Amino acid sequence: MDNAKLAECRAWIRAELDRCVSFWLKNGMDPVNGGVYTCLDREGKVFSTDKSVWMQGRCGWIFAWLCRAYGVREEWLAASKSCLDFMEAHCLNHAAGDRMYFTVTADGRPLRQRRYYFSEAFYAMANAEYYGVTGDKECLKRARRAYDLYWDLAQGAHDPTGLGPKTIPETRTGRAFGIPMIYLNVTGVMLRSDPERAALYEERAAKCVEDIFKYHVKDELGCVLENVGPNGEARLDFTEGRIVNPGHDIEGVWFLLEQARRTGDAQLVGKAETIFKRAIEAGWDKEYGGLLYFIDCLGRPPEAYEHDMKLWWPHDEILISSLMLYRDTGKEEYLDWFYKTFDYCKAYFSDPVYGEWYGYLRRDGKPTEPPCKGSTFKGPFHLPRMLSMVDLMLGELLER
């Protein structure tokens, strides 16, 4: 381990974190209605005032997390609370069992309801983290309710929205990798913030890990399948059944590693290593560098138009998972992947002129035109989460 090189990386990471946080505080926060705008162009100008409910929760979480990680700053706490208050006032559909909307207008009028319950996931994370920083019991109550709602819906409870499944269930039903994976991450936040219910959280975390390996990890195919049949059947006769999302797999790796560290499960570390190696070797673009967005497990044409683009968030997840694997195993191959991805991100995603990272690159590494720094799906979450976590891990490594 080259301490000087790691220290140099850390200095850049910390500067990027400052620039990223400043970009969102300056350009994204809505001083009129509360909450955050995330559809921002390269310079930070708002190009759509519709608000993503995911991003209200994610922004609420990140600023509370920064307070936990670095100490409370009033502007961070205020940004978190603004998003929490906006969600409470506008983003819960009280007529549908407090299921949450997917998008709302600038002033909070509902636009779209989705069957997926990731809005609830990020709402739970934000409220739990804010409670952990402030002790606000109302936020803990909200977090527990949303966390349990996610669990109940994932176990097949009636969805009060009445939207029903994505496909006609008599024809096709199944499981999605994102359901247990994201719940495992939310559970980690709940464990950190709400130790009173630790036994419940540990039980559910173990079930998430079990489901990931029971249903989605396919050793015979050498991959993790995003979508499988009800009993984990690989369904290879249509494109959705063959989807592999390498960045999603690699994000799941560090969720598993955190679980392994909490429980002392050395075998789980080895299993996470296998997922990482398979995903990055299959997904890394050997011609242009960077991680492809989707691949087909049989090497056939993926259906998604954006399959060969380079998106910011999978590269954030590589940086977290590779460094965490190095920290936990000491294997230099993971540090090599960290440096390789670090160099790619510094060269292509980072914008030293205006700050923040480009969200979407073409396969050759050039930003889509006109370039953007945020969208309905990109806000202050993956990047500042990565920068803060990598900063803390680098500090830990340098102190050894």
Q: pLDDT (tens digit, 9 = 90+) per residue, 290-331?
A: 999 999 999 999 999 999 999 999 999 999 999 999 999 999
Mean pLDDT of 102-106: 98
CA dist., res. 242 & res. 317, Å (int):
22
Closest CA to 298 of 220, 216, 214: 220
Read off the DSSP letter of residue 46.
B
Alpha helices in the chain (DSSP H): 3-27, 53-70, 74-90, 118-134, 137-154, 178-193, 198-211, 246-263, 266-283, 312-329, 332-348, 382-398
Convert the pLDDT of each residue in 198-227 to its tens digit. Answer: 999 999 999 999 999 999 999 999 999 999
- Identify the pLDDT of residue 394: 98
0.95 exceeded by pTM: yes
Convert the pLDDT of each residue in 116-167 to its tens digit. Answer: 999 999 999 999 999 999 999 999 999 999 999 999 999 999 999 999 888 9
Convert the pLDDT of each residue in 358-385 to its tens digit. Answer: 999 999 999 999 999 999 999 999 999 9
CA dist., res. 151 & res. 143, Å (int):
12
The two three-digit tokens of residue 183, written as one number: 């719940």
Closest CA to 204 of 218, 190, 216, 193: 190
CA dist., res. 375 & res. 226, Å (int):
23
CA dist., res. 125 & res. 86, Å (int):
15
CA dist., res. 64 & res. 190, Å (int):
13
Give me the residue spans of the domains in the chain.
202-356
Convert the pLDDT of each residue in 266-287 to its tens digit. Answer: 999 999 999 999 999 999 999 9
Closest CA to 135 of 70, 72, 75: 72
CA dist., res. 130 & res. 126, Å (int):
6
- Identify the pLDDT of residue 166: 87
220-233 core/surface letters (b: 16 or more CB in 10 A; e: else):
eeebbbbbbeeebe
Closest CA to 253 of 344, 176, 318, 175: 318
Q: How far out from the chain centre does Cα 249 lie?
A: 11
Tell me how far apart the terminal alpha carbons of the chain are, to the nearest angstrom: 11
In contact, 394 and 6? CB cutoff 8 Å: yes
Which DSSP helix (H) or strand (E) runs through 103? strand 103-104
- Identify the pLDDT of residue 1: 74
User: Does 202-356 carry CATH code 1.50.10.10?
Assistant: yes
The two three-digit tokens of residue 255, written as one number: 């969720």
CA dist., res. 101 & res. 93, Å (int):
7
Give the orientation angle of helix 118-134 with respect to helix 178-193, to 10 degrees.
10
| 56 contacts: CB under 8 Å, gap ≥ 6 | 35, 36, 83, 86, 87, 91, 122, 123, 126
- Identify the pLDDT of residue 400: 85
| 267 contacts: CB under 8 Å, gap ≥ 6 | none
DSSP string, 354-396: T-SB-SEE-TTSPBPSS-BS--SS-SSSHHHHHHHHHHHHHHH
Instruction: Round the average pLDDT of the chain to a whole number and report it.
Output: 97
Closest CA to 131 of 81, 97, 166: 81
Read off the DSSP letter of residue 309.
-
Cis, bond preceding 352 (omega within 30 deg of 0):
no
pLDDT-derived band at 109, boundaries 50, 70, 90: very high
DSSP string, 342-356: HHHHHHHTB-TTT-S
Q: How far is the CA of 228 from the CAs of 126, 157, 159, 219, 252, in angstroms? A: 30, 20, 21, 14, 17
Closest CA to 386 of 324, 317, 338: 317
